[in-house]
Amino acid sequence: MHRVLLTSLSCFWLLTSPDFAAQLPIRGLHCAAPLPEDVDLCARFIEDALPKEGVNVLVLEFNYRYQYSSHPEVVDENPLSREEVKRLVEACRKAGIKLVPQINCLGHQSWRQRTLGLLRAYPEFDETPGKYPNNEGIYCRSYCPLHPKVHDVLFHLIDELADVCEADEFHVGMDEVFILADDDCPRCRGLNRAELFAREVRTLYDHLKQSNRRMWMWGDRFLDGSITGIGRWEASLNDTAPAIHMVPRDIVICDWHYDRPEPTFFHFAIHGFPVVSAPWRKPAVALGQLDLMLFARQHASPGIRDRLLGVLQTTWQPMAAFVKAYYAKEAPSVASVEAALCFKELFREIRSRE
């Protein structure tokens, strides 16, 4: 009994001591880029609230909601102008926050009945052209990674967005890719899905490397959902997991888990990847991820510890809705309130450990 008590007290001391709570290199927030009419509200939030919370990285997901001059045909509704993006860039600069722009690559090329800009403008890039009318029966469309012209367009978009954001790091998404090596794709059918996924990761990585930009991506397709028991969303059940052995090791992996604080960030770190844990709207999960991350940083070898970079709180709501929920001015949705409360609890705990 005494031994159990002492062990418990020792663990508590480790998790709360100043030495253990060394400042996390990345204390990030992930949001959708705001609508044009919300840019000023969100810029003030970046300048005023995020430094107080301790945030030092902001991942903004633009996708096709920027007024791309290189390919205006892909622009979706409510795009941000160059001037509006520069307002956000300046807000991040004033707040001492690194801005990491994002375009979802490979998967997430549609949402519900709406096909997004790339495949709307170039339906021939679709992995399943002509299939799934109105996107019925699928989660999200994918582009075909072997289409000979898809990267000509995609690389222009990535470069233009990275340039306007003055970014030296870029998030390419690539989560929840369920359509890959489709049986009806003349280029991809019959191919090994892990090799095909890894090839697209390397293609994007190599392009970003040419402009000295570090690549970020979600990590779920590198996890085996069957072996881990995590399932098909936060891990893969479509045979992409072996791709982890086929890609560069300096990609920042965002290891998202929303229902349990899975310790899979350690899996990425021991494979050589820099990694952040990404919670969403359940404070207990977020705090569990933080405890695991800090405990591992305390006890891992320096080589592994230095790859355990911190946390990236996700929101999955319009940015203005999250900001309004944060300030408790109004509650646009239950999910925005939950994400804001989770964010506050997580970053309050991070500050208390410093």
What amino acid is encoded at 94 in this protein? K
CATH annotation of 23-353: 3.20.20.80
Q: Which two tokens stand for residue 199?
A: 């090839």
The DSSP output letter for 236 is B
What amino acid is encoded at 164 in this protein? V
Chain centre distance of CA 198: 18
Q: Which two tokens stand for residue 64?
A: 């096709």
In this predicted structure, what is the pLDDT of residue 17?
Answer: 44
Q: Which two tokens stand for residue 134?
A: 């109105």
Q: How far apart are CA 97 and CA 100, in angstroms?
A: 10
Rounded mean pLDDT, 36-40: 98
Rounded mean pLDDT, 237-248: 98
pLDDT single digits (tens) 274-307: 999 999 999 999 999 999 999 999 999 999 999 9
Q: Assess contact for 166 and 89: CB atoms under 8 A.
A: yes
pLDDT single digits (tens) 79-125: 999 999 999 999 999 999 999 999 999 999 999 999 999 999 999 99
In this predicted structure, what is the pLDDT of residue 96?
Answer: 98
Q: Assess contact for 274 and 305: CB atoms under 8 A.
A: no
Burial of residue 156 (number of CB atoms within 10 Å: 0-12, 13-18, 19+): middle
